[in-house]
C-alpha cells in the first residue's frame, strides 16, 4: 500500500467505494488521515463500514464542512455530461476534487528514496486502444529482464494498493481519460500515448475534450521521456508540442505501418518488422511476424511502444526481443483460445469500439466475425472499407438486426453468443479465423467485456470437446 501523504489528521471525503475507492480509503488511513466515505449503493457502504470506515451522506447540506478534499472514483462524472451532485456540492463549497491517481503521484516518493542507488521510475500509458497490452507487455519485458516491476491502474491492482517501490523498481500504470482528466498531480518519468479514436465523447464533451484529457499526462506531468504514437493527427500534434527540435530525443515517435524519417528517435513497425532509428541510423530490428501473442498491426504498434519504453529504461534490443517472443498475450485481447482443424478461434472482446474492431479484423486474412452489442456514439460508419477479410458477420446483442443493417458484409442475426458461435463454427473452413471483435459495449447482455469474452470461450470450448 502507498500511504497518502499531505493529509495527516485531516478529513478527506471518498466518493465511490469500488476497488479504487476502498483502496483510497485504506491508503488515506495509512497516511493518518480520516476517510469520510460515501457510495449510493448500501452494499458498498456496508463493506466499508465493516472495515471500520465512517460513511456520511455527502448529498446532505453541510456534508463538506471540515473536509480537506474530495476523492472521486473514475466512473463518477465531474464535468460532462453534467457533474455528479456530490462533486458539484464539493466545488461549490470550495473543496478540491482529486482522484487516486493524483494521490498516488503526490505520495509515491518518500524520504526513503534518498538512500536508493537508483530511483524508482513510473511509466504511465494512455490512449484509446492498446493501453492494457502495452502495459502488460512492458511488465513482461521488465520481469524477464529481472527488474522489480508492478503494474496497476486500469490493469492489475489499484494504484494506491501496490507495494512501495524499492531501489531501481519500475511501476507501470494504465491510465484512462477519466483518470488523467481529473488527477491534480501527474508526474510520470515516462509517458506513453498509444493512439486516439472516438470514445467516451459524452463524458468529455466531444473529441477535443477527450484528447485534452489524455494530453494532460504530458502537458501537466512533464515526463522525462514521451513516447507518442503519431499515426493520428492528435498524436502527431502532441509529439510536436513536446519536442524542442528535430533531434530532441526526449520524444520517441511510434508508428505502425509506415517508416518514420528524420533525425530524432523513432520506433516503427512495417510489414511485420520492428525498427528503431536514432539520429538517422538503425539501432535495432525485430521480426514480429511469428509472435503469436502479438498478431496484427495494432499489436505491432503496442510492441513498438513497449520496446521504446524498455529502451529508455536501459534494456538492450536483443533482451527485449527474447521477452517479446515469450509474451503470452492478455485475456480478451487478440487471445487465441484454440486452433482446431485449421480454424483459429480468437477472443478480442475488449474490441469495444469501431477502431479497435477494425484493427482486429485487419490482423487475419479470412474471418468469421462475431460482433454486436451496445452501439457507441458515432455509429459503425468507420468500419466501411475495413471489412475486406470478413467472410460473414454473426451479429449478437439486443439490437442485433439494427446493428447488422449497418454492416457492408453478409450478415446473420444471431442475437445470442451461443447461436453466433454455433453458426460461425459450422461455416468456418480451414485457414479461417472465428473472431469475436464486437465493435460495441457489452452492457446490453453482459456486466462487462470480460464476461462476454468468457462466454465466447465457454461456447467454443464446449463444441470442440
DSSP string covering 213-258: HHHHHHHTT--SEEEEE-SSHHHHHHHHHH-SSTT-TTEEEEEESS
Burial class (CB in 10 A: 0-12, 13-18, 19+), 362: middle
Q: Contact 412/387 with Cβ under 8 angstroms?
A: no
C-alpha distance from residue 268 to each of 68, 136, 189, 372, 446 (Å):
46, 19, 22, 32, 37
Q: Is 131 annotated as a binding residue?
A: yes
* Per-residue pLDDT at 262 exceeds 90: no
What are residue 248's DSSP bridge partners? Answer: none
For residues 16-43, one letter each, b for 16 or more C-beta atoms within 10 angstroms of the residue's C-beta and e for the rest, the string is: bbbebbbbbbbbbbebebbbbbbbeeee
Cα gap 187→223, rounded to integer Å: 6
Model confidence at 359, in pLDDT bands (50, 70, 90)? confident
Q: How far is CA 165 from the centre of its chain?
A: 22
Contacts of 363 (CB under 8 A, 6+ apart): 295, 296, 297, 298, 299, 334
pLDDT at site 65: 97
pLDDT at site 371: 96
The rounded radius of gyration (Å) of the Cα atoms in the chain is: 23
DSSP, collapsed to helix, strand or coil, labels residue 54 as strand
| For the chain, percent of residues with pLDDT exceeding 90 | 85
Q: Is 362 annotated as a binding residue?
A: no
C-alpha distance from residue 376 to each of 156, 194, 438 (Å):
26, 21, 11
* Per-residue pLDDT at 297 exceeds 90: no
Region 304-319: what's the mean pLDDT?
97
Question: Does the N-terminal peptide bond of residue 81 adopt cis geometry, omega within 30 degrees of 0?
Answer: yes
Q: Is 256 annotated as a binding residue?
A: no
Cα gap 20→73, rounded to integer Å: 7
pLDDT at site 464: 94
Minimum mean pLDDT among 36-40, 71-75, 333-337, 452-456: which range?
A: 333-337
Domains along the chain with CATH numbers: 11-98 (3.40.50.720), 109-325 (3.40.1190.10), 335-464 (3.90.190.20)
Q: Is 128 annotated as a binding residue?
A: yes
* Per-residue pLDDT at 379 exceeds 80: no
Phi, psi of 7, rounded to the nearest 5 degrees = -125, 20
Minimum mean pLDDT among 11-20, 162-171, 354-363: which range?
A: 354-363
Model confidence at 465, in pLDDT bands (50, 70, 90)? confident
- Nearest CA among 27, 11, 30 for reference residue 19: 27
Q: CA angle at residue 105 from 100 to 108, to 5 degrees?
A: 105
pLDDT at site 377: 73
pLDDT at site 380: 87
Region 281-309: what's the mean pLDDT?
93
Contacts of 170 (CB under 8 A, 6+ apart): 120, 121, 122, 123, 142, 147, 148, 149, 150, 313
Model confidence at 341, in pLDDT bands (50, 70, 90)? very high
Region 400-422: what's the mean pLDDT?
95
**Chain segment 412-437, per-residue pLDDT in tens:** 999 899 999 999 999 999 999 999 99
* Per-residue pLDDT at 257 exceeds 90: no
CA 377, 381, 386, 391 torsion-angle sign:
positive
Region 222-249: what's the mean pLDDT?
94
Q: Is 133 annotated as a binding residue?
A: yes
Q: Is 147 annotated as a binding residue?
A: no
Q: Residue 285 has which C-alpha cell?
A: 530490428
Q: CA angle at residue 444 from 210 to 21, to 5 degrees?
A: 55
Region 194-220: what's the mean pLDDT?
92
Start-to-end Cα distance in the chain: 44
**Chain segment 85-106, per-residue pLDDT in tens:** 999 999 999 999 999 999 999 9
Q: Would you say how long the chain is, in residues? A: 465
Cα gap 419→459, rounded to integer Å: 9
| For the chain, percent of residues with pLDDT exceeding 70 | 100
**Chain segment 365-375, per-residue pLDDT in tens:** 999 999 999 98
Q: Is 41 annotated as a binding residue?
A: no
Model confidence at 197, in pLDDT bands (50, 70, 90)? confident
> What mean pLDDT, rounded, does the chain reach?
94
Q: Contact 240/251 with Cβ under 8 angstroms?
A: no
Model confidence at 355, in pLDDT bands (50, 70, 90)? confident
Q: Contact 13/97 with Cβ under 8 angstroms?
A: no
Region 274-296: what's the mean pLDDT?
92
Model confidence at 196, in pLDDT bands (50, 70, 90)? very high
Amino acid at each position: 500500500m502507498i500511504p497518502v501523504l499531505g493529509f495527516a489528521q485531516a478529513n478527506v471525503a471518498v466518493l465511490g467505494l469500488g476497488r479504487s475507492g476502498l483502496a483510497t480509503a485504506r491508503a488515506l488511513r495509512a497516511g493518518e488521515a480520516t476517510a469520510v466515505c460515501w457510495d449510493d449503493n448500501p452494499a458498498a457502504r456496508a463493506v466499508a463500514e465493516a472495515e471500520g470506515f465512517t460513511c456520511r451522506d455527502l448529498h446532505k447540506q453541510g456534508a463538506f464542512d471540515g473536509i480537506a478534499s474530495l476523492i472521486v472514483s473514475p466512473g463518477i462524472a465531474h464535468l460532462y455530461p453534467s457533474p455528479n451532485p456530490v462533486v458539484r456540492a464539493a466545488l461549490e463549497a470550495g473543496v478540491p476534487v482529486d482522484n487516486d491517481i493524483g494521490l498516488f503521484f503526490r505520495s509515491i516518493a518518500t524520504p526513503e528514496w534518498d538512500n536508493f542507488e537508483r530511483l524508482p521510475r513510473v511509466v504511465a500509458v494512455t490512449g484509446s486502444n492498446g493501453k492494457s497490452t502495452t502495459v502488460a507487455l512492458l511488465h513482461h519485458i521488465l520481469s524477464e529482464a529481472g527488474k522489480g516491476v508492478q503494474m496497476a491502474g486500469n490493469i492489475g491492482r489499484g494504484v494506491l494498493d501496490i507495494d512501495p517501490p524499492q531501489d531501481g523498481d519500475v511501476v507501470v500504470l494504465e491510465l484512462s481519460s477519466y483518470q488523467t482528466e481529473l488527477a491534480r498531480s501527474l508526474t510520470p518519468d515516462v509517458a506513453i500515448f498509444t493512439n486516439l479514436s472516438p470514445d467516451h465523447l459524452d463524458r468529455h464533451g466531444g473529441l477535443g475534450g477527450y484528447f485534452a484529457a489524455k494530453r494532460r499526462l504530458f502537458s501537466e506531468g512533464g515526463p522525462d521521456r514521451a513516447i507518442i504514437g503519431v499515426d493520428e493527427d492528435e498524436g502527431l500534434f502532441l509529439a510536436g508540442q513536446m519536442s524542442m527540435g528535430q533531434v530532441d530525443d526526449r520524444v520517441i515517435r511510434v508508428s505502425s505501418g509506415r517508416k518514420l524519417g528524420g533525425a530524432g528517435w523513432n520506433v516503427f513497425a512495417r510489414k511485420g518488422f520492428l525498427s528503431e532509428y536514432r539520429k538517422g541510423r538503425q539501432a535495432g530490428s525485430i521480426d514480429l511476424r511469428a509472435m503469436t501473442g502479438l498478431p496484427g498491426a495494432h499489436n505491432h504498434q503496442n510492441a513498438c511502444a513497449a520496446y521504446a519504453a524498455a529502451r529508455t529504461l536501459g534494456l538492450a534490443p536483443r533482451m527485449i526481443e527474447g521477452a517479446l517472443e515469450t509474451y503470452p498475450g492478455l485475456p480478451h485481447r487478440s487471445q487465441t483460445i484454440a486452433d482446431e482443424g485449421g480454424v483459429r478461434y480468437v477472443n478480442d472482446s475488449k474490441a469495444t469500439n469501431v477502431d479497435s474492431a477494425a484493427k482486429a479484423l485487419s490482423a487475419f486474412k479470412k474471418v468469421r466475425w462475431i460482433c454486436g452489442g451496445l452501439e457507441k456514439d458515432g455509429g459503425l460508419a468507420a468500419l466501411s472499407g475495413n471489412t475486406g477479410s470478413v467472410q460473414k458477420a454473426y451479429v449478437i446483442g439486443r439490437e442485433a438486426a439494427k446493428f447488422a443493417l449497418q454492416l457492408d458484409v453478409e450478415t446473420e442475426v444471431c442475437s445470442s453468443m451461443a447461436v453466433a458461435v454455433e453458426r460461425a463454427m459450422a461455416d468456418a473452413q480451414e485457414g479461417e479465423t472465428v473472431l469475436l471483435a464486437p465493435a460495441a459495449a457489452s452492457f446490453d447482455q453482459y456486466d462487462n467485456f470480460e464476461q462476454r469474452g468468457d462466454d465466447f470461450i465457454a461456447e467454443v470450448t464446449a463444441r470442440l470437446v
